[in-house]
A and B are shown apart, each in its own frame.
Chain A
Amino acid sequence: MDMELNETQRAIEDSCTRLFARKAGPSRARLLRAEGGFDRPLLEEMQSAGFLDLFDDAETGPLAAALVTEWASTAAALAPIGQRALIAPAAMSDIPPLVVAVGEKGRKGPVRYAAEADLLILLDGDDAQAVRKGDFVAEPVDSKFGYPMARIASAKGTALAAGSGRTARNWWRVAIAAEVAGIGRAALDLTIRYLKDRVQFDRPIASYQAIQHRLVDCHVSTDAVQWAAREAAYHRAPDELAASAAIAAEETAYRLFYEMHQLTGAIGFTREYDLHLWTMRLQTLRQEAGGINSHAHDLVHARWG
């Protein structure tokens, strides 16, 4: 057991930090959201740097892929990184194309990045199918919740190996947790900075104990989901750890959304302030992979039959 990054992981972190500082960040996310797009160039750069293919690399393994997903999310990267780096390589043996979307058969509602996807992985219970571009119809829907989304009108794919739906769902949960962890860290940092700067009643808002305790609760929740995601990824997303991480993600997303916006006050309701570039995504992530009901159901049945 070692909770610190090893040399390889640290090197990946350094490269990611440099790449995201140049190519991602809130300004870039804002621009992309205004245009209704997503960050294909970033995804391409990540692919050429090898960051999307760490999952099957013997030296790095899925933990590194989860870390990259987390860090990208801290940098507000607007691209389906967890889908490509974690879920697709776990569900299929072929090398996945660049843009992957993941949805669930029979569930209502739009799917993140579906209109842009080269490949749609559709989960159906324990099974899954791969649907290539051209074999599905995705109708874009307007959404304020952080991501480009589209409703799947029809899809005709080929079945993936038996059990791949279950595997993909577990990795989906880990990806959600990694993403929430990354968002949580960024939203919390931004909010702490703001509350240290903003003075009300002659004191920085962050100096009030009532405020500090709520920030700390958010910090603990963010730590919890971050480490749950990392551990689950390291152990290759077994049912229980994956569902636990997703439940922690739901708890964190719920807590952070309200607290960050409440503590930031009215400026946090504006599009001019950066907070929403992270936090609005939390609402979507809370609902993915079936949301809390599905995570809890699967956790309980995996553990207690």
Chain B
Amino acid sequence: MEFDWSKDETEFRSALKDFLSSELPEGFDAFDMPEHDAKEFSKTFAVKLAERGWLTPAWPKAYGGLDQSPWQSLILSEEMVAHGEPRFGQYMCVNWVGPALILAGTDEQKEYHLKRISRGDVMWCQGFSEPGAGSDLASLRTRAIWDGKDYVINGEKIWTSYAGVADFCFLLARTDGEAHKHRGISIFLVPTDAPGLTIRNIPSLFFDGAFNQCTFENVRAPASWMLGPENGGWPIIRKLLVNERVGVARYRRAARSLERAAKIAKAEGLFDDPTVLEALGRARAACEAARVLVYRVIDERAKGRYPDLTAYVYRVATIRAERAVYEAELHIEGLAGMAEGSVAAKQFGHAVTAGVATGTLEMQLNLIARDIVGGVGA
């Protein structure tokens, strides 16, 4: 057991920091921007990242990556979110859409999609949740039925982030209605301009464009859009959802927000107020706890495993961090935190959505319980 970064890792972080500081305006935050602007910015920015090999550095060299380790991926994620995530939604393509294609794609799919992702000119959304299938994802009912020529997709996806600006949807649909619910699911790579696909924005309490409803009405999907084997989507998803759960260094973004709040507290002379000190201390410690707990997940991945338990534990810790940071900011800003643009108001959405994004907190608790309590009957 040791907690040192290697020389390569330290140099990588330092180079990233230098690059991001020189490229981005002070206080940049893609999540404060209108969604369309953030997407356009990310496309320009991704080209600069791609030139340095930093858009897809964890991908194998054969697919244009640098074969970097999971530790370097973590560093990339930390530094990107610490600088306002200039890749915007493209982190998804890099973290798990690309790896899913590498894992299960045909040569044609790899050739087309991996190239586009590694050029940074494409956005994806994930067609997972449905009105009747959220945390219980495998109960999804969107159907894709083979009619002898194409799969015909009908169904509804909801709460879909980035759908309004995405070029493709990574869609889960049921191709076998009779099989056990985990065994009848297939993955489709669907262009968002496919005839029959309608995308409606659902106004969000928190972020511009965050929520969308995607309605599939007789969308015709040729077999070439299917990723992996028919009815074999679930094992691919299970492996890659870990990438999603740890793909965004939320604790690092929360810590950045806390830095802003601490600056305000200091300027306003609040460092004498024990309630402010305690809230700040607790929030910082919560961010630090999430940071060290993510190391266990990365360590397992670096050793070739697909971690479950440690990833769920990390998720719970990072949700706590998001909330603790918001609470500290309320102590500092008080009613000023209710004003649009305040540090607390910006953190609010992250603090609330953290417990639902990528599977609810309660689902993570159930999964950890299965491990630490084991089988004890109903």
Contacts and interface: CB of A to CB of B under 8 A. Distances in A.
Interface of A: 1-6, 9, 63, 192, 195-196, 203-204, 206-207, 209, 212-213, 215-217, 219-220, 223-225, 227-228, 230-231, 234-235, 240-241, 243-245, 247-248, 251, 292-293, 295-297, 299-301, 303-305
B368 A292 contact: no
A241 B288 contact: yes
Given A244-B285, A292-B278, 17 more contacts: A1-B5, A1-B6, A1-B71, A2-B299, A215-B369, A215-B372, A216-B372, A219-B372, A220-B320, A230-B1, A234-B1, A247-B281, A251-B282, A293-B274, A297-B274, A297-B277, A304-B266
A9 B2 CA distance: 11
Contacts of A212: 365-366, 369, 373
B47 interface: no
A187 to B, nearest CB: 13
Main SS at interface, chain A: helix
Interface of B: 1-6, 71, 262-263, 265-266, 271, 274, 277-278, 280-282, 284-285, 288-289, 292-293, 295-296, 298-300, 313, 316-317, 320, 362, 365-366, 368-369, 372-374, 376-378
A182 to B, nearest CB: 16
Contacts of B362: 213
B274 A213 contact: no
B313 A223 contact: yes
A224 B317 contact: yes
A135 to B, nearest CB: 35
Contacts of A225: 289
Nearest to B9: A1
Given A212-B365, A227-B292, A305-B266, A293 B4 contact: no
Contacts of B280: 296, 299-300, 304
B277 A234 contact: no
A63 B317 CA distance: 23
Nearest to B263: A304
A234 B376 CA distance: 38
A234 B3 CA distance: 7
B271 A244 contact: no
A206 B369 CA distance: 9
A5 to B, nearest CB: 5
B211 to A, nearest CB: 27
A227 B373 CA distance: 21
A215 B277 contact: no
A64 B241 CA distance: 35
A295 B376 CA distance: 40
A207 B376 contact: yes
A4 B313 CA distance: 17
A63 to B, nearest CB: 7
B266 A231 contact: no
B2 A206 contact: no
Contact of A224 (B265, B278, B284, B293): B293
A207 B377 CA distance: 6
Contact of A244 (B289, B296, B320): B289
Contacts of B288: 228, 240-241, 244, 248
B2 A2 contact: yes
Given A1-B299, A215-B369, A295 B293 contact: no
Given A217-B365, A227-B292, A293-B277, A244 B284 contact: yes
A2 B1 contact: yes
9 contacts: A3-B296, A223-B317, A227-B292, A227-B295, A228-B285, A240-B284, A247-B285, A251-B285, A292-B282
Contacts of A9: 1
Contact of A213 (B278, B317, B369): B369
Contact of B377 (A204, A247, A251): A204
Contact of B313 (A204, A219, A235): A219
A305 B282 CA distance: 17
